[in-house]
Amino acid sequence: MSDDSIEEISRLLFISFSEFNHIEISDLIRLWSLELQWMKPNDAELVIKKLLQSGWLINEDDILKPADGINKIPPGLGWRPILRKISNPSDFISQREDVILNIDESLPSKIVVKVVESESKFPQVVERPPDRSEANIPNLIKLIAQLSRLENREVVRRAQRKRRSLGPVTLWMALALVAREQGLDMVEIVSLIEAI
């Protein structure tokens, strides 16, 4: 696998697991296909399957997490994954410095991997609560569309355009930016975002 493909997958996993160190399969498909509009849902399922088979992702009861030792690379502004690069990954080889490879002399075709944990190099990831504002996104879209006299689809299209240009931004934040751009009363928009 070329360095470009490894970097492409590393960027994809950086964005996918930047908020949480684990995510449900259905949520990852939704993120890639509906929220970020990077690919079709079927393509997202295929990429997940390939990343699982090649060891880049680990599945524990339909909860995905990246393999230990992935060097996640922050993407540049406006980055989008190239489907052909991420849908044919080679087997993951850890980039961690504390992974020791031992070649078994009796079985020269096999490599035994021993991982030595080091707390100082890899601090514990702190769990964050879910983003409660996500539940209000449909109402936020309707309100912005109603007040700005745009169609719902146009509001979502503009928000997605903002997300593509700004990088890892939540959908509700992109919608708030669209509302601000339309000159809407931000007190009403913020109160809807914060409503639980």
Structural domain contains residue 83: yes
* Model pTM above 0.85: no
Positive or negative torsion for Cα 33, 36, 66, 59 = negative
Same domain, 77 and 7: yes
* 19 assigned to some structural domain: yes
Tell me the Ramachandran region of residue 26: left when phi exceeds 0, alpha when psi lies from -120 to 50, beta otherwise.
alpha
Which among 66, 92, 118 is the end of a domain? Answer: 92
User: For residue range 10-46, what is the model confidence (pLDDT) as tens digits?
Assistant: 889 988 888 778 899 998 999 898 888 899 999 999 9
pLDDT of residue 18: 81
- Considering its fold, how many domains does the chain have in total? 2
What are the tens digits of pLDDT across the range 144-195? 999 999 998 999 899 888 888 887 788 888 899 999 999 988 888 888 887 6
Asked if residue 87 and residue 142 are part of one domain, the reply reads: no
Domain membership of residue 152 (yes or no) is yes
> Any idea what the CATH number is for the domain that residue 35 is in?
1.10.10
* Residues spanned by the domain of 138: 132-194
Please check whether residue 177 lies inside any domain of the structure.
yes
Question: Span 131-156, mean pLDDT?
Answer: 85
More confident position, 181 or 102 = 181
Mean per-residue pLDDT, 57-65? 90
Distance separating alpha carbons of residues 160 and 164, to the nearest angstrom: 6
C-alpha span between 192 and 176 (Å, rounded): 10
